[in-house]
A and B are shown apart, each in its own frame.
Chain A
Amino acid sequence: MMKKMIKHPNNNPNLEEEERDWSHIPGQFLWGVMNYLPPFDAMRISYVCNSWKSIIKPEPNKITIPWVLCNPSSSISTDRIFIDLSTNAISRVKIPDIVSQGTCISSKHGWLLLHPNSHPMNIINGGFYSHRIFPYQPRVTSSKYEPNTSIVNNKCTLRLLHPVSGTVIDLPEIQEEDCNVVVGPAIIGAVSELTGKPELIIQASFRGHKGIVLRITRAGQSQWEEHRFQHCFGWETRVARVAMHGSTRVCCFDPKGRMCVFEMEDKSWLIFPELCNSRSGFVVECEDEVVKVAPLPPSVHGNQERYMFYKLGLDENGVIGWVEMERVGLENKWWFLDINGESYCVKGVGRKVFQLFGHYGMVRNGGGRVRFGTRIVSEVGIPLSVLDLDDGVPQELMPELALKDCKLGWILMDFPVSV
């Protein structure tokens, strides 16, 4: 490394005033600097230049725990708070202006999929569970989505954001034919293992009697490929959730749990009208499976919370349905749920359920108090908790945050694969 100093000859003091090669600082020193940086800034170091990137190598086997993303709901600030729950470290990150009003609706491999409107369409009353069964449904009135006349709902451009590098990728514009149709949810369907970049984006909207339109676009395509399906009888007003089952099947759910499946290989549709006649819960994508995590009503004694776990599979009659998961299938998994129905799960240690209530300091019921089932907490209550499945006792988790009016969400912030 000392050769670099020789690059700047000592006998030329005038030139020296300007020139120092910061890209080639000693690797050992740069590693030392990483120890003093919040996780987000430490991750970002490798995006400055090739030399720094070659020094900072990602840790491929690190367990990835979703981070919490705090979106201020009122201001158009370009600052976002990211909380790394594995260390409770808080990073405040500036994001590009163009995406500052977007809300994250899906996240994979460090990428966020952003919806430009402040109220994405899939947050209405949560993903898919009925209010009378879900025990901790707060009385969301003030934050309930109301179509806003100032926002054109039938038209939007989804964007991909990599918050570490600041890369923004615009997806092709989506425009619904009918102005009464709102643009439905979207997910990052797959991320390239080679490049760490999203390579499949899926979006679904419900068009009333015209049925569902599923849009798919891949890396390299400049428009959405559309697949329509008219025969989704009895569907409730909108698509609540989209999830990948394996690498080729796309499952669309309505708010009552009805499911339509699109098979990408032969471009066929399947419908499962009976599927909604079961317990309500969160739909979670989990390692190529679609899992439903159903909260049970609180027990009479104490504050224990209980969940049932089902996965999409064949039941005893050979019919596709929600099959109760065996206990062994729950081992070594952490489940991440939130009230918006955006949930993730990753491999972890132990059997824990992390619960996130979508709004922090926003949800209110009368005199500034929030009611979560049997618990009543103050307006600045704790919206994040972890529950051990062994004893069912929830623990509050929220790091101390002087934040109000934030919308919280899980995001997957794993180290990207080195390009």
Chain B
Amino acid sequence: MATIITKEQQEKEKMVTLVSSDSEKFVVEQKVAEKSHVIKMVMNCCGIESPIPVRRVKGDILKSILEYCEKHSKGEAQEVMEKWDKEYMDKAEKDLVFFHDLMLASHFLHIQELVDLIAVTFAGMLKMKSPEEIRQKFNINNDLTKEQEEHIMTTFGWAFQPI
């Protein structure tokens, strides 16, 4: 009996509470939270007794990230993980706002595996696209072209016109 209680206690000790920027609470195993290098460092220095605030990550993003970390802390077969990752990304890239926040959050929380996965997905979105198409897709301001045009037309005098 005594040993079982100890185990339960240990398991309880291994749980950690993370609080998102919009005050949503997530209770996860320590090994799941450790997937984030940043949270791991916080846990190392401050312990896991009190809830850890993740101020820059909203609830829905943190939930999705923890879902990823949980799956990746199980040590499943590679093929299973690859399939799961693909489905996870397929879902994420449909919503660019969500995808953007997921990218920033994984970068901020320093979850290298997820950062790489997002980078591969993002690279896929940029392939075979002209700078203009990329700007349109991601609603990026066309500040460079104006400057280039000015460079071409005035500063460096490119004014080739048909005679």
Contact = CB atoms under 8 A, between A and B. Distances in A.
Contacts of A223: 163
Contact of B115 (A32, A44, A47): A32
A219 interface: yes
Interface in B89-117: 96-97, 100-101, 103-104, 107-108, 115-116
Interface stretch (B8-16, B45-53, B70-78, B133-141): B133-141
B6 interface: no
Interface string B121-138: 011101111111011001
B104 A5 contact: yes
Q: Determine the interface band of chain A, counting residues with CB < 8 A from chain B.
A: 35 or more
Interface residues of B, number: 48
Interface stretch (A19-27, A61-69, A121-129, A330-338): A19-27
A4 B161 CA distance: 42
A197 interface: yes
B160 A37 contact: no
A220 B115 CA distance: 46
A389 interface: no
A50 B147 contact: yes
Contacts of A167: 148, 152
A4 B147 CA distance: 24
A112 to B, nearest CB: 15
Nearest to A36: B123
B128 A222 contact: no
B144 interface: yes
6 contacts: A23-B140, A26-B107, A44-B129, A48-B134, A50-B147, A222-B161
Interface of A: 1-2, 4-5, 10, 16-20, 22-23, 25-26, 28-29, 32-33, 35-38, 41, 44-45, 47-50, 53, 92-94, 157, 165-167, 169-173, 192, 194-195, 197, 199, 217, 219-224, 419
